[in-house]
Structure 1
Amino acid sequence: MERLRHSDYAGLLDFVAELQEPVPLAEFGGHLVKSTARLLPGAIIAFDQIEEASGQYRFDHNCPLSGAELERLFSRLKELYRQNPIHSYIQRGGRETVVDISNLTSQRDFQKTDFYQDIFRPIGLRHQVNVLLPRGGWINSMTINRDRPVSGRIQALLALASRHIAAAHRTACLLEELAGTSTPQQTRSLLTPREIQVVEWLGEGKRNSEIAVILGCSPRTIDKHVENILRKTGAETRTAAVRTSKGRGEGTNT
């Protein structure tokens, strides 16, 4: 592994700290791209999530292109992604986590592909390193794209970061599964009796300050209960938390 600088380790610590915050799978790609762009300034970062069986393709990125240019790029990307050497590498059962496509094919052969001519060449890119994330039935790859070879130092940094990226991705996938399979009864079982009381009053449209008066505690305590409720239910809003914990049937306070 190439020797890293003190600033690299400092940046990696900040990067890992950002990834510790659990986010829904729908937001994971954007969160990962932004965090990685801060770790590797100047690189074009993308995160591709492809379910080939259904044709679902999500593309998060920091490409500095106009709306029309992005629409054209994404349209061609969905048509041509199988020409990327990383696709055949995955299909052959490649097991490395960090993969430089220059190790899979020559630059000359790569430049002959429509993928290079229609995706890379228009935005001045020539090289790509992939960080592959396992998920059954999906191709998940974060890519570092540059106009020059990705240095050994950056690849060493990605190798260290990759295990944290994979862990954060597993958490996002788990949150997705829980959101789709948990019943309201199962969700409520995760809440403390006090948190269930708070959910009931949230369902009545009460503000945190009003709930604090009703339950005889401080607004700060209610803020903390609401924070825990959102985390445990995987909800993004108070309304969604109530819906998740109570289902379609509405409870009442007595």
Structure 2
Amino acid sequence: MVMTMEARLKRLLEAVEILNRREQPMFQDRVLQACRHLFPESFSGFQLWDRLTGIHTGGTDVPYDENSLLERFQRVGELVPLQHPGYPLIMAGEKEVLRLSDLTTQREFAKTELFDVGFKPVDLRHQVALPILTPQHLGGVTVNKGGSQDFSAEDLELLGIFSRHLVLALQNEMILLEAQKQQPKVAMLDHLTLRRAGLTKRESEVFVWMAEGKRDREIATILGVSYRTVTNHVYSILRKLGVETRTAAVSALCER
């Protein structure tokens, strides 16, 4: 059944919402679930390397035999750098989605061990790769399906939009994880001091992360509010403290 543009956009918005669900702790699980929601007949794989720590995370919902799932997934990970035609492009900085059929023919790809190990056992024929490139991370998500119909131009457009939200969701995830590790420097600041300065409860929360040097967009992610809301709170804090800069605001309150 051909979906209308309205239905496609609705499904895209729902998939993005899944990406950002904080109640589901594992980011890779949210990615796989979001991809499946966007294309219900597809199966996905997720690979991510942290450039700073070298830590690798990955997962898949491709229905491999349970007895060989881990071994097969690891072997696919080894073969991708050697035999996937999109890998050199991603390593060179390509950020646009890559349809496998635009990079090689099915006949040529069927000659590879990667096809034999990762595609043939579950009758997958078509794939789109979504690169993940950030200052901290390198990796990608693959959306795969069988059947005779390849991913259409409309599918690629949808996945292109989704891919940008995927990178943003990952960056937000890193901000939240870093915030959870930090003990704010002003956490022990007397709450009464903040109230005496005229700050509301939410302004006090914003101020705490201002003191940590967080930018407005990072604070918005941490507190789960909009960027505009944070900028309004920052403006209000500066006005109430009678200062013009964030540094001056932190100094004014921490010295009281």
**What TM-score, normalized to structure 1?**
0.64
Q: Identify if the C-alpha distance between structure 1 residues 56 and 122 changes in structure 2 by more than 3 Å, giving closer, same or farther.
A: farther
SS at match of 2:185: helix
Distance in 2 (CA, whole Å) between partners of 1:114 and 1:54 is 30
Displacement after TM superposition at 1:46 (Å):
1.6
Distance in 1 (CA, whole Å) between partners of 2:23 and 2:132 is 16
SS at match of 1:50: strand
> 5+ unaligned residues in a row in structure 2: which ranges?
193-221, 224-256
Displacement after TM superposition at 1:51 (Å):
4.9
Matched, 1:94 2:94: yes
Displacement after TM superposition at 1:86 (Å):
1.8
Displacement after TM superposition at 1:104 (Å):
1.9
1:134 corresponding residue in structure 2: 133
Q: Is the Cα contact below 8 Å between 1:23 and 1:172 reproduced in 2?
A: no
Q: Identify if the C-alpha distance between structure 1 residues 4 and 92 changes in structure 2 by more than 3 Å, giving closer, same or farther.
A: farther
Q: Is the Cα contact below 8 Å between 1:22 and 1:172 reproduced in 2?
A: no
Give deviations 1:95-117, integer Å, cap 9, x for gaps: 42x11122222222222221112
User: More deviation in 100-109 or 32-41?
Assistant: 100-109
2:70 corresponding residue in structure 1: 71
SS at match of 1:109: helix
Matched, 1:112 2:111: yes
Within-5 A mapping of 1:207-226: none
Displacement after TM superposition at 1:141 (Å):
0.8
SS at match of 2:86: helix
Q: Is the Cα contact below 8 Å between 1:22 and 1:168 reproduced in 2?
A: no
Aligned length: 189
1:188 corresponding residue in structure 2: 187
> 5+ unaligned residues in a row in structure 1: which ranges?
195-230, 233-254
Give deviations 1:53-108, integer Å, cap 9, x for gaps: 97743222222234212122113123212121221112233242x11122222222
Distance in 2 (CA, whole Å) between partners of 1:161 and 1:136 is 19
Superposition CA RMSD, Å: 3.0
Distance in 1 (CA, whole Å) between partners of 2:186 and 2:26 is 22
SS at match of 2:36: helix
Q: Is the Cα contact below 8 Å between 1:46 and 1:60 reproduced in 2?
A: yes
Q: Identify if the C-alpha distance between structure 1 residues 159 and 79 changes in structure 2 by more than 3 Å, giving closer, same or farther.
A: closer
Counterpart of 1:160 in structure 2: which amino acid?
I
**What TM-score, normalized to structure 2?**
0.63
1:27 corresponding residue in structure 2: 26
Give deviations 1:183-231, integer Å, cap 9, x for gaps: x243837x9949xxxxxxxxxxxxxxxxxxxxxxxxxxxxxxxxxxxx6
